[in-house]
């Protein structure tokens, strides 16, 4: 799916479910990693994680509905944040997704194990083992595994 197809889909969903016009831009943003999409407050544009399109039409439409809830409520000067009652109510009415599904397993480079209790710690960065100890028993940490994440990443 391309950006122009996404734009027409967002416009159609806005008309059908909200009975309001979507007047701004909707694009894919491949830099989004942990979120399904985002609504930009100042530009009023919507960005969608392209990985959500791979998960199926139901997931993509649910995320678009979620971002459109932010969009329409913000333009109407109502509570557009996740914690606001108006947002939760509108999201429930249109059937949007509250949370985006996970797209991949969590990525870690270093795996540490406590020598005393065996507690495992997964970290992105290497830690100073002279300074940090186990949070459970204050035991010494040792490296159990190190992996090259770039080879494992599917979209690298």
| Catalytic machinery residues | 67
Give the orientation angle of helix 3-13 with respect to helix 57-75, to 10 degrees. Answer: 60
Pairing mode, strands 37-39 and 46-48: antiparallel
Q: Which residues of 29-52 are buried (b: 16+ CB within 10 A; e: fewer)?
A: eeebeeebbbbeeeeebbbbbbbb
CA separation (Å) from 29 to 47, 85, 146, 154, 155?
A: 6, 28, 30, 17, 14
The torsion defined by the Cα of 2, 102, 150 and 113, in degrees rounded to 10, comes to 170
Euclidean distance between CA atoms 111 and 124, whole angstroms? 9
């Amino acid at each position: 799916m391309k950006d122009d197809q996404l734009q027409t889909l967002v416009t159609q969903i806005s008309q059908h479910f909200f009975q309001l016009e979507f007047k701004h831009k909707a694009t894919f943003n491949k830099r989004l990693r942990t979120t399904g999409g985002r609504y930009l407050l100042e530009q009023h544009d919507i960005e969608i994680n392209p990985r959500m399109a791979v998960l199926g039409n139901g997931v993509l439409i649910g995320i678009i509905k979620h971002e459109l809830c932010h969009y329409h409520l913000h333009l109407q000067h109502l509570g557009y944040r996740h914690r606001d009652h108006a947002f939760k109510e509108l999201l429930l009415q249109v059937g949007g997704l509250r949370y985006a599904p996970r797209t991949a397993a969590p990525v870690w480079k270093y795996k540490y194990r406590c020598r005393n209790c065996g507690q495992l710690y997964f970290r992105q960065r290497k830690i100073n083992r002279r300074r940090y100890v186990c949070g459970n028993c204050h035991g010494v940490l040792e490296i159990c595994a190190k992996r090259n994440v770039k080879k494992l990443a599917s979209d690298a």
